[in-house]
Amino acid sequence: MSVYGKNSYVATSGILRYCIYMVKTEEIQVATEGGCSIVDITDQVAEATANSQIQNGAVVVFNIGSTAAITTIEYEPGLVNYDIAEALEKIAPQEGFYEHEKTWNDDNGHAHVRASLLGPSLNVPIVEGQLTLGTWQQIVLIDFDTRPRTRRVICQIIGE
Ligand code: ZN
């Protein structure tokens, strides 16, 4: 039998173990240039995770807004300054035609499409208090909008 929730008992191999599940939420702010700018937010997510004091669980990193995405990347100049932008330009070109721009008379249809494809959030397992990232794997926010923005990113840490 397993019962999950706050202050629940979890039976594992016949041994009853008392677990206290916690949820901690922290907001970080990220200044961006827009135009497919990629910002490394690994240190801020690691800090939020450390502040939570949760040792085992996961952190959900979620961008509030529909024109930026959260993912991981090897944060090196080739990918960050060229390759991602060029790949996305083929899929959702900035100068393409978008019905969205007729709806609002704006210029960021491509930004919405790109953000939807990559997704607004990332889930990173936490083991022994550490994010389980690879050495060449950084957490990034990619802002596709057509102007500089200050992004609000929620780090919600769930675990024990
Ligand atoms: Zn728009």
Q: What is the value of pTM for the model shown?
A: 0.88
Q: Which of 147, 4, 156 is nearest to 70 (CA)?
A: 156
Task: Decide if pLDDT at 53 tops 90.
Answer: yes
Q: What pLDDT is attached to residue 19? A: 72
In the reported structure, the alpha carbon of residue 83 is separated from the centroid of ligand 1 by a whole-number distance in angstroms of: 24
Q: How far is the CA of 144 from the centre of ligand 1 (A)?
A: 11
Where do we find the tokens 């907001």?
Answer: 27
Length of the chain: 160
Distance CA 129, CA 26 (A): 16
For residue 112, how far is its CA from the centre of ligand 1 (angstroms)? 7
Domains, the chain, in order of start with CATH, read 22-159 (2.60.120.460)
CA of 42 to the centre of ligand 1 (A): 28
Ligand 1 centroid to residue 97 C-alpha, Å: 13
pLDDT digits (tens, 9 = 90+) for 80-137: 999 999 999 999 999 999 999 999 999 999 999 999 999 999 999 999 999 999 999 9
Name the average pLDDT for the chain: 92
4 Cβ contact partners less than 8 Å away, ≥ 6 residues apart = 10, 21
Q: What is the pLDDT of residue 129?
A: 97
Tokens matching residue 65 = 């807004």
| More confidently predicted of 144 and 1 | 144
